[in-house]
Amino acid sequence: MNNEERFAGVDVSKAYLDLGVSPEGGVERFSNDEAGVTALIQRLLTLQPALVVLEATGGLETLLAASGRVAGLPLAVVNARQVRDFAKATGRLAKTDKLDALVLAHFAKAVRPEVRAGRTEAEQALVELVARRRQLVEMRAQERTRLAMAGSRQKQGLKEHIAWLDEHIARLDGDLKNRLRESDIWKTRVDLLQSAPGVGPVTMLTLLSYLPELGKLNRREIAARVGLAPFNRDSGFQRGRRRIWGGRAEVRSVLYMATLAATRGDNPIATFHRRLVEKGKPAKVALTAAMRKLLTSLNAMLKQNKPWSCPQIA
């Protein structure tokens, strides 16, 4: 390793961006807004780090991540749990914004997480629309639950709010469909995904927005990315039960519903699931395996640009 190599970590909060640099060990603070992000990127371009690492923080990192990638910075967004486990493993138990920035810089140097291409502006817009739709659907479900238990004085207001939510969800659905029609690439992917059993509009939109790697990785990599790859839990002579771990919860939740629908039809996923159940596999294990089978089949469809009916798919 070249002794001159620098590694940077950025701790992201709602108000601030704390930049830690290794091996120097210094920390600088910038505001988490347009001006602060611009100043931070200029500072990073001056430092020329081999790698910049920041945590996924529920969207607070989006502006910096997008701007940094446009500027050509080697930037990786990582899971916060991984970084915290790294900090504990290296004896760094205290936690402040400045310390976290330095931990991220040390994590970048030691682990070298993969630098992935960022989303395009169109992809980011799709993600935001899908996320907002999910929020409204969850809010509508909560209001319907409240309506069932509400007194007569509250029911009218709840009904009006539910109607408002219905209208805005329908409007978002229309906007999402229009965006998908605008792009020939998206239209092709939509047609391929919709040919698979169990894959409806919500599953398709979630896959397109939250799993842009679909069709670009091999079957093991895509299963691990979603959190459907079983990991061994063995020690000495003990052989523990393999379990799935990590991954993208948004994708897993829609794949669960899609697989559940597919297992009730007449298709290879249903046959595969039924065969596992007949062999005595627990219900959750069989369904998880079927989810992984559906995911890897969808991955093969997009990679080969072939619909579900193709013989080598599924």
Per-residue pLDDT tens for 30-70? 999 989 999 999 999 999 999 999 988 877 888 888 888 87
What are the domain boundaries of the chain?
A: 7-111, 121-182, 196-314
Place of tokens 């991984």: 82
In the structure encoding, which two tokens stand for residue 303, read together? 């990679």
Q: At the topology level of CATH, where does 7-111 sit?
A: Nucleotidyltransferase; domain 5 (3.30.420)
In the structure encoding, which two tokens stand for residue 234, read together? 């063995």
Give the 3-state secondary structure of 158-209: HHHHHHHHHHHHHHHHHHHHHHHHHCHHHHHHHHHHHCCCCCCHHHHHHHHH
Query: Using CA atoms, how far apart are residues 108 and 82, in angstroms rounded to an integer?
Result: 12
In the structure encoding, which two tokens stand for residue 233, read together? 């839990």
Residue 260: CB atoms within 10 A of its CB come to: 14
Per-residue pLDDT tens for 249-307? 889 999 999 999 999 989 999 999 999 999 999 999 999 999 999 999 999 999 999 98
Query: Using CA atoms, how far apart are residues 125 and 294, in angstroms rounded to an integer?
Result: 27
Mean pLDDT of 177-201: 86
> Does residue 41 contact residue 66 with C-beta atoms inside 8 Å?
no
> Does residue 110 contact residue 86 with C-beta atoms inside 8 Å?
yes
Per-residue pLDDT tens for 203-258? 999 998 888 889 988 999 999 889 887 655 555 655 556 665 567 888 999 999 99
Q: How far is CA 179 from CA 122, 126, 132, 175, in A?
A: 8, 8, 15, 6
Whether the predicted pLDDT of 312 surpasses 90 = no
pLDDT band, very low/low/confident/very high, at 196 (cuts 50, 70, 90) = very high
Residue 265: CB atoms within 10 A of its CB come to: 10
Query: Using CA atoms, how far apart are residues 32 and 40, in angstroms rounded to an integer?
Result: 9
Mean pLDDT of 112-128: 79
The length of the chain is 314
Query: Using CA atoms, how far apart are residues 307 and 194, in angstroms rounded to an integer?
Result: 9
Whether the predicted pLDDT of 180 surpasses 90 = no
Report the half-sphere exposure of 29 (CA within 13 A, side-chain side): 10
Query: Using CA atoms, how far apart are residues 6 and 260, in angstroms rounded to an integer?
Result: 48
